[in-house]
Amino acid sequence: MPSVPTKPFGNTGVNVSALGLGGHHLGDASDEKTAAAIVREAIEGGVTFFDNCWEYNRGKSENWMGKGLRGLRDKVFLMTKVCTHGRDADLALQMLEESLRRLQTDHLDLWQIHGVTFDNDPDLFIRPGGAAEALAKAKQQGKVRFVGFTGHKAPRIHLKMLATGFPFDSVQMPLNAFDATFQSFETLVLPELNRRGIAALGMKPLTGKAEPLSKNILSVDEALRYAMSLPVATTITGMEKLDVLRQNLKIAQDFKPMSAAEMGELRQRCARLAADGRFEHYKMSLQYDNPEARLAHGFPIDPEQREVKQLLQEAKNTGSPYPE
């Protein structure tokens, strides 16, 4: 049976699947049963890397993944993210307990700081009492094996996080053929991670909303293969339907790295379109900022945004499914 290739997770000695299952989209599946089927079929196809986050779909993403992984927990490398957004270590540790409960496990393979987006986030992370202390403590307690951070905004902010000197095991970032020429994580952050032996986790291989596909600029095969050909441990992508999963599994199972020339051609094709950032709104538009993070920072939020509407409908993140 064909399987997704695996790659080393930084210097840790652990291997993970080159394709990762994104947790946000799992919560966007039509129902819980479909989500469980996606989890099961992904594992059967060789996916071991599972991504999630405390705040995705107000807890529904973690709940559904936890249910889908019943009896399969040991077959996967399970990651979720903590959503302190500048707030205290204590809050982070509470969120960890909630995540463990929802995911129905006693430990995470990877726990990451979610949404490092704002220019003062690195300062807030590393301050006394900040979330850095929670990462260290959780690791020491054996509740998490590895720790890292993620963000989609600016390479500059990622580099500031690395400059705090905290011993991260992984760093997650957008990596795609558009990123290569626009505020580029590939150019500015990825080489630094490789140099330090930190596991690089790619996300948004289709730029988040698959716009390059609908506009016939890239095929899904090209987009996914480009991201997977970079020196990363895994490429996380959202798959809310079984047919999307099957399409991506096929690409990943047949994966042959692109040649440097092929990658150059793809970057070239995207460069002119990439230059104003409209294909990577997560880097450019305040409306793509996570409202939970904006609130935690005291920034105004946009009541018309989908996530804000979710937030307002269920102000308390209890982990129960968001009432549709």
Partner 1 sequence: MSEPNTNPRPRGEMDRRQFVKGAALVSASSVAAAAGAYAQVTAPPAPPAPAPQVPKKPLGRTGLQVSALGVGGFHLGVPRDPEEASRIVARALEAGINFFDNAWEYHKGESEVRMGKALKGKRDQVVLMTKVCTHGRSKQVAMGMLEDSLRRLQTDYLDVWQIHEVVYYNDPDLIFAPGGAIEALALAKQQGKVRFVGFTGHKDPAIHLAMLAHDFPFDTVQMPLNCFDASYHSFETEVLPEAIRRGIGVLGMKSLGGSGEMVTSGAITPEEGLRYAMSLPASTTISGMDSLSVLEQNLEIATHFQPMTGSEMEALRARCRSLAADGRMERFKSTKFYDGDLGREQHGFPSAKELPL
Asked if 288 interacts with partner 1 (CB under 8 A), we say yes
Site for partner 1 in 291-310 (CB under 8 A): 294, 297-300
| Residue 43 CA to its chain's centroid (Å) | 18
Min. distance of Cβ 132 from partner 1 in angstroms? 18
Nearer to partner 1, 187 or 259 (CB): 187
Q: Which of 117, 150, 229, 248 binds partner 1 (CB under 8 A)?
A: 117
Task: For the CB of residue 294, give the shortest distance to partner 1 in the complex, in Å.
Answer: 7
Q: Work out whether 163 is an interface residue with partner 1 (CB under 8 A).
A: no
Are 264 and 164 in contact by the 8 Å Cβ rule? The answer is no
Interface region with partner 1, contact rule CB under 8 A, candidates 42-50, 63-71, 117-125, 225-233 = 117-125
Write the single-letter amino acid at 210: A
Of the pair 139, 281, the CB lying nearest partner 1 is at 281
Q: Which of 137, 209, 241, 281 binds partner 1 (CB under 8 A)?
A: 281
Q: How far is the CB of 131 from partner 1 (least distance, A)?
A: 16
Q: How far apart are CA 257 and CA 231, in angstroms?
A: 10
In three-state form (DSSP H/G/I as H, E/B as E, the rest C), the secondary structure along the chain is CCCCCEEECCCCCCEEECEEEEHHHHCCCCCHHHHHHHHHHHHHCCCCEECCCCCHHHHHHHHHHHHHCCCCHHHCEEEEEECCCCCEHHHHHHHHHHHHHHHCCCCEEEEEECCCCCCCHHHHHHCCCEHHHHHHHHHHCCCEEEEEEECCCCHHHHHHHHHCCCCCCEEEEECCCCHHHCCCHHHHCHHHHHHHCCEEEEECCCCCCCHHHHCCCCCHHHHHHHHHHCCCCEEEEECCCHHHHHHHHHHHHCCCCCCHHHHHHHHHHHHHHHCCCCCCHHHHCHHHCCHHHHHHHCCCCCCCCHHHHHHHHCCCCCCCCCCC
Nearer to partner 1, 259 or 287 (CB): 287
Residue from 275, 303, 312, 320 that binds partner 1 (CB under 8 A)? 275
In the bound state with partner 1, the residue whose beta carbon lies nearer, of 140 and 214, is 214
Please tell me whether residue 269 binds partner 1 under the rule CB under 8 A: no
CB of 220 to partner 1, least distance (A): 23
Does residue number 274 form part of the binding site for partner 1 (CB under 8 A)? yes
- Would you count residue 204 as binding partner 1 (CB under 8 A)? no
Query: Does residue 185 belong to the site contacting partner 1 (CB under 8 A)?
Result: no
Name which of 164 and 183 has its Cβ closer to partner 1: 183
Is 164 a binding residue for partner 1 by CB under 8 A? The answer is: no
- Window 118-137: residues binding partner 1 (CB under 8 A): 118-121
Shortest spacing between CB 275 and partner 1, in angstroms? 4
286 near partner 1, judged by CB under 8 A: yes
By CB under 8 A, tell whether 90 contacts partner 1.
no
Work out how close the CB of 100 gets to partner 1 at its nearest, in angstroms, rounded to a whole number. Answer: 31
- CA 276 to CA 298: how far, in whole Å? 28
Under the binding rule (CB under 8 A), the answer on residue 289 touching partner 1 is yes
CA angle 197, 135, 121 (to 5 degrees): 85
Distance between CA atoms of residues 89 and 86, nearest Å: 9
Any contact of residue 278 with partner 1 (CB under 8 A)?
Answer: yes
Q: Which amino acid is at 25?
A: H
| Count of residues that bind partner 1 according to CB under 8 A | 30
Residues binding partner 1 (CB under 8 A): 117-121, 154, 156, 181-183, 271-278, 281, 284-289, 294, 297-300
